[in-house]
Chains A and B, each alone.
Chain A
Amino acid sequence: MDQILIVGSGASAVHFALTVLKKGYEVTMLDVGYERPEVLCPEKNIDELKECLKDPVDYFLGENFESFIPPDYGAEYYGFPPNKNYVLHKPRQFDFSSSGFAPLFSFAQGGLAEVWTGGVYALNDSELDDFPFSFKELLPYYNEVAERIGMNGAKDDMLTFFPWHENLMEPLNPDYHSSMLLSSYARKKNYLNNKFGFYMGRSRVATLSHDRNDRKACTYSGRCLWGCPNGAFYTPSLTLQECKKYSAFKYVSGMYVSYFKYNKQNHITSVMAESVQDSTLHEFPVNKLVLAAGTASSSKIFLESVFRKTGEVIKLTGLMDNRQILVPFLNLKMIGKECKRDSYQYHQVAFGIKTADSREHIHGQVTTLKSALIHPIIQSFTLDLKTSIFAFGNLHSALGVINLNFHDVRRDENYISLNVDRDFSRTALLINYKPVDGEKAVMEGAMNVVKKAFLKLGCIVPVKMAHIRPMGASVHYAGTIPMSEEKTAFTASKYCQSHDFNNLYFVDGTTFPFLPAKQLTLTMMANAVRVAEEAL
């Protein structure tokens, strides 16, 4: 049978690979593939962990105290966990520059979703409007991916935004704060629905609420931020492990893919990769090439290949990302309650705000802060630190963070291209992004609704403390080579087959023609399975 060469081992790559392996293809996966460090004290919950670790400060703050957040640091509410740094490590072959965009890249086994927060939301028909297929056509693949990753969700008011599919487990036990919010909502929902178009319910998360096969259900250890120790929380490296069980699967790590070579008929003949260890060049013959290196990296490989062959630097336009805003809030009913750290740490509550055009609805998630480091929050009080500790202790259980997400559309001014050295020896990825005019008004409108709706739920939202994250920070990149019915340059078919090179496929976000406010990864995985099933 055919040979398939896949670049990347992220969420999209592994689900594509697993599907074609099941169909009997031979698969080679090229990856840089940095590995996760050993999990320490896997049996312990977050508090016991502090006792079990030999050097807890090293674990939580990092060897060089890189997760210590001093007051002049900026406004993110928590530092990046030191033991997840490997996910963002870059090989020396990779370089980039950007304007208006703060991009993240991963070269790890499993990719960025090794540090994701597991929100998994299927898109509905209106959100799929620009895609060349409907929800119904994608549904079997949502079902398949849900079965593979193990996810949960509830049939509640969020059905307004989140279509139902199969293989959803029942939700995790909510922590006390989340259930307080939900019960307040239940009492006020008519008002909130009618007045603000505001709906609330359980979020959908890629976490097991039951034991399944060899994975254990969530034990509510509270360690999510530092990496789930027992695989209850889904990350793509779990599926990579599954792929590795197939004898037809060859995983080649330590390889940075630079470009592909193609002939006069625009048929790709091989892929050129550089060893990360010794920079030696390796050539891999290509039958079918599948790029799943993440939208930015896949675009870079595409651009570099054209550049190497023709000397031409092209622009791939239409880059999209979700604008995100983080807003802290205080639930008055929770003040003075004990804060239980041993609970699931990412969002358990989601909400949506309707907009005139239903594709553009605003998507929100609520995290009740429990085991995250507290010194970044304590310092935000206008009190001396000693009094702040006292105040925080009594407010901790009442604190939460709202994460607001906005949709994005493809626009010509937002693009990915290359920067080329004067002597043509080195190229760097170049990203340019400008937010759409009128974005500010949309954000203010949304914050206003959030403020009022949450007040109704008994929460104070200090809008002044909102942190508008820079573009690029949400890491939902998409849209540079969109699916299109027309066979124009730099587009792809309904089956994500390149219109420029006949044996090239993209299965990551590259081909999305539209980016709804909901996180895209579930749809990316489902789409990868769809392409694997239908195109090959």
Chain B
Amino acid sequence: MKKSLFITGATGYIGTRLLKKINLDQYENIFCLGRKDNDVINSLSEYNNFKFIKADLSDQASYAQYLNSSDAVLHLAALTGKARPEEYFRVNSRGTEILLEQCKRSNIKHFIFVSSIAADFKDIEGYYYAHSKIAAEKIIEAGGLTYTIVRPTMVIGENSPILESLLKLAKAPVVPIFGNGRTKVQPVYIDDIVGCILSIIDNSLFQNQTLTIAGPEQITIEGFIRRLHEASYRKKLRMLHLPVRSIAKILLFLEKFLLKFLPFTAGQLASFTNDGIADRNPCFEGRGLKSTSMNEMLALAVRPEKGAVRNESDLMAECELFTNYLIGRSPDEYIQAKYLQGHAAANLEKDAGLLDAILIRTANSNSFFLKLADVYTSIFYRNAVLRKKLLLMLAILECCKATYHEVDKVSNSSGIIFGIRLFQKAFIFLLSLFISIIIFSPFRLYDARTKGPRASAELWTKS
């Protein structure tokens, strides 16, 4: 039988992502509680079995009726970031208590609470968020309902709050590292958390248990910041170690008066003093759920600064070369930007094999080799990634005011001169074909024979 699910905090980071992934058809009803709606909520609102309730946790009357017809509750609502201690307790602890009371009245069969790895930290002086989460966990454990408490480690995903603040840190001219930087983190990708949570709800797993959800790899916090820096910025990384305890003390004192003006709070430094890792990771054990590697997670979540990653500057150079080759002039910024965008949208390199890699690399050397590769692919490999790239370039050029004339014009030359040009072009074509066969055919044969892993596609990124 299909379940009805009640979600609090549906518009938060995890909630939004979860709603994007969820398959509404698998549920009888989905009720979402939140204080304001967003695009995802609006787009789901056209479904019959989806209902958004605009209310605060404390306002039981407005959501009780929906809880009455729910089977499971996913409690995501929480106050994070910078706030006063009493606020953390009002929302995270007292809010949970109110919700739980109502859930008991409504006979909820499974109460799933998303807590935080911080609830497992040893050193949490001044970290009120962690305190409030611990309090909430206790309330749930003692509450008498069937529960599952999940504690995600550091949640990484496009624009995830923790990623945003770490990136800000990594961007600083000198990156401050609080403490010795050797505490460990075990970041987990947002979609994997979502997958775990949904699987717990759907299969009623881990009843009356508390479990940590972590990614597959552990790394020191300093190492992780280094990885972030590499993934997103071009500049050389400079780091400065700062004494974490004294800074925490100063912050704690200042928070009383100047909370609004502080870049972060003492509590938020806790990641630099506590290991945020999981010895066991039961949600992923033997259950076939995806656990995204750190490499993949960074590739998915971190947008490189313009020109930061070799690949992007390569593409700019490629665009310059291609435009010059095709129409004999340089691209403007608009054309370059569109080439990057189109290249990503059409996901051109996804099926590239060894021969593709070689063709692209060779073609990127200069217009002579580009011509050879262009001629070769026109006869022997018409679906080549290189050909697609050139066509994308052409498609863009034909749309732009500065260049459309160049891709569509008659040669206004007299008969004889035109004849000579034609002959010249035919001659060059045949000669290029001859040379290109000598150069590329061996790779083609090799490619056809191996058909092995396509890892060799990395070849084309110039070093």
Contacts and interface: CB of A to CB of B under 8 A. Distances in A.
A126 to B, nearest CB: 44
Given A56-B399, A386-B325, A279 B378 contact: no
A481 B334 CA distance: 54
Contacts of B401: 50-51, 56
A383 B399 contact: no
A59 B404 CA distance: 14
Contact of B408 (A51, A71, A396): A396
A68 B392 contact: yes
B49 to A, nearest CB: 9
B67 to A, nearest CB: 22
B395 A373 contact: yes
B189 to A, nearest CB: 24
Interface string A37-69: 000000000010011000011011100110011
Contacts of A339: 408, 410
Contacts of B409: 393
Contacts of A337: 410
Interface stretch (B236-244, B383-391, B448-456): B383-391
Given A384-B432, A385-B326, A386-B325, A338 B410 contact: yes
Nearest to B396: A57
Classify chain A: how many residues form its interface, as a range: 35 or more
Interface stretch (B29-37, B58-66, B338-346): B338-346
B416 to A, nearest CB: 13
A62 to B, nearest CB: 9
Contact of A50 (B47, B391, B400): B400
Contacts of B383: 70-72
A3 interface: no
Determine which residue in B383, B396, B429 has the highest number of CB atoms from chain A within 10 A of its CB, and name it: B396
B411 A68 contact: no
B266 to A, nearest CB: 45
Interface in A53-100: 56-57, 59-61, 64-65, 68-72, 92
A424 interface: no
B445 interface: no
Contacts of A276: 46
A92 B390 CA distance: 37
A59 B408 contact: no
A375 B392 CA distance: 8
Contacts of B398: 60, 373-375
Given A92-B46, A374-B407, A65 B394 contact: no
A379 B391 contact: yes
B404 A70 contact: no
B411 A70 contact: no
Contact of A68 (B46, B48, B342): B342
B371 interface: yes
Contacts of B382: 71
Nearest to A392: B408
Contact of A278 (B45, B345, B408): B45
Determine which residue in A69, A384, A388, A396 has the highest number of CB atoms from chain B within 10 A of its CB, and name it: A384
A383 B378 contact: yes
A265 interface: no
Contacts of A69: 391, 395
A393 B411 contact: yes
Interface string B335-355: 000100110011000000000
Interface string B33-74: 000000000000111100000000000000000000000000
B395 A68 contact: yes
Interface in B257-313: none
Contacts of A56: 399-401
A386 B338 contact: no
A382 B378 contact: yes
A65 B345 contact: yes
Given A57-B400, A71-B391, A394-B410, 8 more contacts: A56-B400, A56-B401, A64-B345, A276-B46, A278-B46, A378-B391, A382-B379, A393-B409
The 10 closest A-B pairs by CB, nearest first: A384-B374, A51-B401, A384-B375, A375-B395, A60-B399, A65-B345, A279-B48, A50-B401, A57-B338, A384-B378
27 contacts: A47-B404, A57-B400, A59-B399, A65-B342, A65-B395, A70-B383, A70-B391, A71-B382, A71-B383, A71-B391, A278-B45, A278-B46, A336-B410, A337-B410, A373-B399, A375-B391, A375-B395, A378-B394, A381-B378, A383-B378, A384-B371, A385-B387, A386-B325, A386-B326, A393-B410, A396-B408, A397-B410
